[in-house]
Amino acid sequence: MTDRAGTHVVLLATGGTISSRARSAEGGAAVAADAGAEVLGGLATAPAYPVRVVDVACEGSYLLTLVDMIAICAQIKIALADPSVRGVVVTHGTDTMEETAYLADLTHDHVSPVVFTGAQKSADAADPDGPGNLADAIAVAGSPAAAGLGVLIVFAGEIFPARGVRKAQTFALHAFTNPDFGSAGSLTATGDVVITRQDQRMPPLPLPPLPPRQARRVDVVSAYPGADGILLQASVAAGASGIVLQATGSGNGNPALCVAVAAAAAAGTVVVTSTRVSAGPVIPVYGAGGGRDLVAAGAIPTGLLRPSQSLILLSLLLQLDRNRDEIAAAFALYGAAITESDQIC
C-alpha cells in the first residue's frame, strides 16, 4: 500500500479498563474514569505519530448497547472524513471490543485503518498494560503497511483482523485470539509494524444514520443438553426481531429447538445458527434435531461467525430493514472462509 497524506492519528476514547481506576465510592471496584488525554498521557515515550484526542464516552464496554456502538462508528467516520488523519485508534473495554470492532469493520469504507485497543490492567495498576497497547495501536494506525486492512485489534504486540476476533482470556495480557482468520501481523520489540496477512475486504454495509432509532431486539439463546424451546418462545414473545441460536458442534440443536425455531420463523423472527465451538464453520450436516433440521425449520447458518459477531451482523441488517433472504445472503458472504490466495507473506 502507498503512504497516505494524513499527518496525525485520531484517538477516540470510550472508556474501558485502560481508563479505569479504583474508586472508594464503588467499594474499591474499578470504574472507567480517565479521559482520553489522561490515557494518552500514560505513554512512556512519545507516540509514533501526532495524536488528536476525541472523548466519545467513558464507561465499561459491558454497559454498551448497539446504539452506543453505532455512535462510536459514526465518530470513526467523522474522523476519517478529515484528510489530515492517517488512521483512527479506539480505546475500548475488552468485554465487548469484538462486537464494536466488528460493527466498525462491517461499515468501514476507507483505506485508512481503524485500530481498537484497551487493557487488562487498570490505569492505576502497578504495571499497567494499557500504555504499551496504546503505543502499539498508534503505530499501526499510522503505518502505511496497515492501509487497506480495515478494522484491526492490536493487543499485547499482536495484530488481529476484527472479523472472527474474540476475547479468550479474562485477565491474561494476551487477551484476544482469532482461531479462524488468524493474525494479521505483530509489532517488534522496537515498535516496528510487521504485516503478515491481508484478507480480502468485504463490501461495506451502511451505518444507520444518527441519531439511530431504538435498536431492534436481538437475543442470544443457547442450546445445551436437554434444552427445550421455552427460551426461544420467550424471546419471540418479548418482541425479538432476531435470535442467534448458540448451537452445539457444527450447528446442532434437538427436536424441541427445531419446533421452536419453526414457530419463531413463522412469527417473522429471523433465527441464525452459530456455535459454542471456538473454531470451524457452521455447516448443516446432522438430522434428528441437528443442523440440517434447524435449517429446514428456517434457521440461517452463520458460517465462521461466532455468537457475539453474529449478533452484530444480524442486528445491523435488521436495523437496515433487510428481509430474511437478504439476511441469509449476507451471512453466506460475511461468514465465508478466507482462501489461501487472500494471504500475504
DSSP state of 3: -
Rounded Cα distance between 121 and 175, Å, is 11
Place of cell 482520553: 36
Out of 14, 17, 96, 269, pick the active-site residue: 17
Rounded Cα distance between 276 and 213, Å, is 31
Whether the Cβ atoms of residue 136 and residue 197 lie closer than 8 Å to each other:
no
Cell numbers given for 103: 460493527
**Cβ atoms within 10 Å, residue 194:** 12
Place of cell 439476511: 327
Rounded Cα distance between 253 and 133, Å, is 40
Rounded Cα distance between 42 and 168, Å, is 26
Q: Is 17 a catalytic residue?
A: yes
- H or E segment and range at residue 139: helix 130-142
Q: Which residues are catalytic?
A: 17
